[in-house]
Amino acid sequence: GESVGLHLPTLSVQEGDNSIINCAYSNSASDYFIWYKQESGKGPQFIIDIRSNMDKRQGQRVTVLLNKTVKHLSLQIAATQPGDSAVYFCAENISGSGGGADGLTFGKGTHLIIQP
């Protein structure tokens, strides 16, 4: 089965609300995790990453939380905007070096829909 997966394939939120996208991973040896955003017709775009020696990392309007005990990863987007509409993927790697050398394992993705 999938090494990395998502609980919800579609998430609908009101503009201005906070969004939380979840991801479960099964490989306890994974030590590096990335969130990507993919808009229609485009390649995945890096949002934020976190290494396994951290529980939380914040970026601009985004926060990633890592719970190694239950092998769970989440992406929080504050004050969701229409431009946040996209598919969001979590990905993992064991080497902990940003995806190299042997590539990333991706979840299936969550489609975030922003309601006006």
Taking the least distance from each CB to another protein, the nearer of 97 and 115 is: 97
Between 13 and 50, CB nearer to another protein: 50
Residue 54: Cβ within 10 Å count: 13
Kind plus residue range of the DSSP H or E element containing 14: strand 10-14
Distance CA(92)–CA(105), nearest Å, equals: 5
Q: How far is the CB of 79 from another protein (least distance, A)?
A: 25
The single-letter DSSP state of residue 15 is T
Write down the least CB distance from residue 26 to another protein, Å: 14
Give me the amino acid identity at 15: E
Least CB distance to another protein at residue 33 (A): 10
Interface residues with another protein (CB under 8 A) are: 2, 4, 34, 36, 41-46, 49, 89, 91, 97-109
